[in-house]
Amino acid sequence: MTDSVTKPEQNNDETKTGAPVFRRSKNILAVASGKGGVGKTWFSITLSHALAKAGKKVLLFDGDLGLANVDVQLGLMPRRDLNDVIRGRLSIEKVIQRYEDGGFDIIAGRSGQASLSALPSQRLSMLRDQLLEVSDKYDVVVVDLGAGVDRTVRMFSATAIHTLLVTTDEPTSLTDAYAFIKLGNAAGVSKNVSIVANAASSPAEGERTYKTLLKACENFLKLSPQLAGIIRQDPKVKDCIRHQTPILTRSPNADASEDVEKIAAKAIKILQGAQKVSALNN
Ligand SMILES: Nc1ncnc2c1ncn2[C@@H]1O[C@H](COP(=O)(O)OP(=O)(O)OP(=O)(O)O)[C@@H](O)[C@H]1O
Ligand SMILES: [Mg+2]
């Protein structure tokens, strides 16, 4: 992999050095990728479910504001969603819905609303502040982000205490994951990123995917993101999405289910470690 990524433009939420100037959460885990279609939404849902099964109080926030998919993958028809919050019609608490089958709460986004994918900075900051406030009521908040590295993605990732970066072995996915880390590094937040190698044809191949990304990060950025885990390619994933049923309900013993449950256990440890560091720094 070569390094050809340039620095992002500044925005109101970043200082001249690119460092975020706002409060970082204690318990928000962002799920990002760079390239689209690598399994972020499916992973965010399954991770939330696994964390709930492990006894955590979990909120899943659909942070892909203009192309929301969490509700679609779960077959939900939310009557209230983030659009109501952003338009100032409802407080964020009012749009939380309980997803009984999974034992966790959801804040749904709105799909096909172009205005949500390009929110003015002020509205985006207000949304972030409301999410931070509501996050106090949970052990973990999982934020499913959109593809790419736009302002919304960067802001939620910078607000999160940790970002799980999903990649597959495809060169474009790896390049975009590297770009995500590089841009985050410029903003001073890439130390809090770990890698999820998804849709691996075998654990060894997943390990190779991780090592490729790790090498690029070490060579060009002097960063060594840890491996959060490997998820095997599994036909049950598509089957469950088609049936709009979470994999941990429909196929709890599937390879991909087992893999995400392992990542959930690791995520709890990562979160605890990050919380300790953040307590020491405050
Ligand atoms: N471990 C896996 N095994 C097999 N297929 C997978 C796996 N993970 C994801 N997929 C496939 O990838 C597709 C895309 O998943 P998903 O919609 O969650 O991606 P995404 O990263 O959220 O996409 P977007 O960037 O558009 O939001 C799914 O429909 C599923 O078929
Ligand atoms: Mg998605």
Ligand 1 proximity of 40 Cβ (cutoff 6 Å): yes
Contact 74, 27 (CB under 8 A): no
Cα-to-centroid distance, 224 and ligand 2 (Å) = 26
**Which phi and psi (to 5°) does residue 163 adopt?**
-115, 130
Q: Which conformational region is residue 258 in: left (phi greater than 0), alpha (psi within -120 to 50 degrees), or beta?
A: alpha
| In-domain check, residue 15 | no
- Please state, as a whole number, how many other Cβ atoms lie within 10 Å of the Cβ of residue 77: 7
Nearest ligand by distance to the CA of 169: 1
CA-to-CA distance for 19 and 122, rounded, in angstroms?
A: 18
The confidence score (pLDDT) of residue 147 equals 94
Ligand 1 proximity of 241 Cβ (cutoff 6 Å): yes
Length of the chain measured in residues: 282
Confidence of residue 24 (pLDDT cuts 50, 70, 90): confident
Please check the confidence at residue 246 and state whether its pLDDT lies above 80. yes
The confidence score (pLDDT) of residue 241 equals 97
| In-domain check, residue 227 | yes
Q: Which residues pair with 59 in a beta bridge?
A: 105, 141
Confidence of residue 189 (pLDDT cuts 50, 70, 90): confident
Q: Which residues contact 144 (CB under 8 A, 6 or more apart)?
A: 31, 40, 41, 44, 45, 60, 61, 62, 63, 64, 69, 70
Cα-to-centroid distance, 279 and ligand 2 (Å) = 32
The confidence score (pLDDT) of residue 22 equals 58
| In-domain check, residue 34 | yes
Distances (CA, A) of 214 to 120, 192, 259: 35, 14, 20
The confidence score (pLDDT) of residue 10 equals 39
pLDDT in tens, 64-74: 988 989 999 99
Ligand 1 proximity of 206 Cβ (cutoff 6 Å): no
pLDDT in tens, 74-118: 999 999 999 999 989 999 999 999 999 999 999 999 888 777 778
Q: 42 is in which domain, residue-wise?
A: 28-281
Ligand 1 proximity of 119 Cβ (cutoff 6 Å): no
Average pLDDT score over the chain? 90
| Count of structural domains, the chain | 1
Ligand 1 proximity of 180 Cβ (cutoff 6 Å): no
**Closest C-alpha residue for ligand 1 atom 29:** 238
Contact 10, 147 (CB under 8 A): no
Arithmetic mean of pLDDT, 19-34: 81
Ligand 1 proximity of 169 Cβ (cutoff 6 Å): no
Ligand 1 proximity of 52 Cβ (cutoff 6 Å): no
Please check the confidence at residue 13 and state whether its pLDDT lies above 50. no
Nearest ligand by distance to the CA of 73: 1
**Which phi and psi (to 5°) does residue 102 adopt?**
-100, -15
38 CA: nearest ligand 1 atom: 21
CA 52-248-263 angle, 5° bins: 65
Determine the residue of 237, 257, 262 to mutate for testing ligand 1's pocket, defined as the one with the most ligand atoms within 8 A of the Cβ atom.
237
| In-domain check, residue 7 | no
Ligand 1 proximity of 199 Cβ (cutoff 6 Å): yes
**Closest C-alpha residue for ligand 1 atom 12:** 39
Cα-to-centroid distance, 173 and ligand 1 (Å) = 12
Q: Which conformational region is residue 211 in: left (phi greater than 0), alpha (psi within -120 to 50 degrees), or beta?
A: alpha
36 CA: nearest ligand 1 atom: 25
| In-domain check, residue 1 | no
CA-to-CA distance for 165 and 180, rounded, in angstroms?
A: 9
CATH number at residue 264: 3.40.50.300
Nearest ligand by distance to the CA of 39: 1
pLDDT in tens, 137-174: 999 999 999 998 888 999 999 999 999 999 999 999 99
Maximum C-alpha span of the chain: 50
